[in-house]
Structure 1
């Protein structure tokens, strides 16, 4: 089952392209370089808000609303 939530960047390693997000409920969601690569983003900064799809196997997708293919600015 995939869950959709919003989270803030807690940590981001620019060399390894890995990091952690924190949901509004306080849950820490680590992400690996593959999840970051799928985002199409170049970098992240601490505190930045992201949309996240995650499941038992980790983060499947992360993105910024309005940035990327198929995203509309609202």
Structure 2
């Protein structure tokens, strides 16, 4: 699934993305670390993997979107 980086805190390695429909979804350090990234800037296109649905939906991986 694709999204756009919305917020990122380098000290906690957590933040949030906006899905293409505008829904914000938060991610934690585990999801950030799983993608192998060192830094994330707001506005970057990312690829995410999620588990669960509704209020239980959580991001398990954040990585850069490549073409």
User: What is the TM-score of this pair, normalised by structure 1?
Assistant: 0.77
Q: Which runs of 4+ in 1 moved over 4 A?
A: none
SS of residue matched to 1:44? coil
SS of residue matched to 2:2? strand
**Residue 59 of structure 2 corresponds to which residue in structure 1?**
59
In structure 2, runs of 5+ residues without a counterpart are none
RMSD between aligned residues: 1.3
Take 1:9 and 1:35, find their aligned partners in 2: how far apart are those partners?
13
Take 1:65 and 1:48, find their aligned partners in 2: how far apart are those partners?
8
The answer to whether the aligner puts 1:45 opposite 2:44 as a matched pair is no
* 1:49 positional shift: 0.4
Size of the aligned set, in residue pairs, is 63
User: What is the TM-score of this pair, normalised by structure 2?
Assistant: 0.84
